[in-house]
Amino acid sequence: MNQLDHWLLPDGVEDLLPTTAAKLELARQNLLSLFSRWGYDYVMPPKLEFIDSLLTGTGKDLDLQTVKVIDQISGRLMGLPADITPQVARMDAHSIGGEGVSRLCYAGSVVRARPEGFVGSRTPIKVGAELFGDAEPKSDLEIVSLMVGSLAALGLLDVQLELGDVSLFRTLIEKAQLDEDTRDEIFALIQKKANHALAQATQRNIDDPGLANTINRLPLLCGDLSVLDEASELFVGHSDLLDGVERLRQLSRGLLNRYPNLRISIDLSELRGFNYHTGAVFSAYDAGSGQLVARGGRYDNVGELFGRSRPATGFDIEISTLVDLLPEPDTGAWVVVNRSQGADQSQQTLALWTKIESLRAEGYRVIEGEPPVGIEGYQLVLDANEWVLKAL
């Protein structure tokens, strides 16, 4: 490598410079403060752990995104977390323990083997909340409400919320008794909304025409809340499917009672996170740009292999993707100090230092020496034996 290239970073990895870093840190602090007020305890999972526990119950997608290394002490395979949710689930199941409901939150960067999308980051910063130990619909309502409130705290007041439920597809596939390869084929076609190819695949692999038709209709069950009525008609005679539709109906009603102006859409073919999600899934989009800004879902029993099978639901916000949508932080006005004034008189020096500390406590950004180029603010000057602020 040429010496001039030593500053280069890998594709998808970038420095966060002062303006961006200030925005993201303010967002992180605001969200963690909000989570605390909602009763969520902050945890800090490690940046490295054994693959056995890191990928337990998460499926192959996360496995492919995980950067792996060999532990030089034990010889075992370790990984850099590509997602924090499985780590928090491990902490709830094994490290924290205890009975009853547990509310945990986190904030930190993850590492991905490949970026998501053409311009995605391989080191995104995630902030999220997880609720363990409650299988009732009210826990999903709490988590989605917190997600909406979190976006509002970041200044994202106009969002489109999309709701789905992967248990419906799971149930239909179980009824069809499909092998894993066929299931994966139909799963991919539903995700692509490739309706013609989907009809051919179900006709070829499913003997029951009614069941095949129901699966074929999933990609069409997307739109406003009236989709739930269509689904109820389609699923007549399948009580387990109707239960899933009713859960979404209750969730929608609960959210609109709390946020009357919230835009809610339904997509019953949204199967993101199918490998570990077990019920409701939810995504939020900025209504202006259409950008995905938060997502989550229910993932019951992910802690089973840690010895505690616990219902769980949660969400995360990848705040590093929201920089352009976040408000500018108020970092305080600049104050420049020229210590040459009165520096030889101890009383004035003490008075100056006391004034500097007072200004910093009030939120001013006080520096000594030459001001940064282009800043606006104040200069601290000695006037009639007192240190006062004057415009630069």
Regarding whether 370 and 303 lie in a shared domain, the answer is no
**How does pLDDT run across 53-89, given as a tens digit for each residue?**
888 666 677 888 899 999 999 999 999 999 999 899 8
pLDDT score at 343: 47
Regarding whether 357 and 303 lie in a shared domain, the answer is no
Regarding whether 120 and 147 lie in a shared domain, the answer is yes
**Domain for residue 268, yes or no?**
yes
**Domain for residue 9, yes or no?**
no
Sequence-ordered list of residues with C-beta below 8 angstroms from that of 319, at least 6 positions apart, any chain: 24, 27, 28, 31, 125, 126, 127, 154, 326
Regarding whether 361 and 270 lie in a shared domain, the answer is no
**Domain for residue 339, yes or no?**
yes
The angle that helices 166-176 and 209-217 make with each other, rounded to 10 degrees, is: 160
Give the confidence band of 346 by pLDDT, cuts at 50, 70, 90: low
**How does pLDDT run across 257-310, given as a tens digit for each residue?**
999 999 999 999 988 877 778 899 999 999 989 999 999 999 887 767 677 778
Domain count, the chain: 2
Mean predicted confidence (pLDDT) in 176-189:
89
Regarding whether 321 and 340 lie in a shared domain, the answer is no
Tell me how far apart the alpha carbons of residues 325 and 289 are, in angstroms, rounded to a whole number: 9
Q: Phi and psi for 379 in degrees, rounded to 5?
A: -120, 140
Higher-confidence position of 131 and 62: 131
Regarding whether 258 and 184 lie in a shared domain, the answer is yes
Domain residues for the domain of 22 are 18-325
Q: Strand, helix or coil at 110?
A: coil
Closest Cα partner for 155 from 331, 46, 286?
Answer: 286
Tell me how far apart the alpha carbons of residues 239 and 48 are, in angstroms, rounded to a whole number: 44
Regarding whether 244 and 372 lie in a shared domain, the answer is no
**Boundary residue ending a domain (279, 295, 325):** 325
Regarding whether 123 and 41 lie in a shared domain, the answer is yes
Tell me how far apart the alpha carbons of residues 133 and 89 are, in angstroms, rounded to a whole number: 11
Regarding whether 373 and 246 lie in a shared domain, the answer is no
Q: Phi and psi for 387 in degrees, rounded to 5?
A: -90, 120
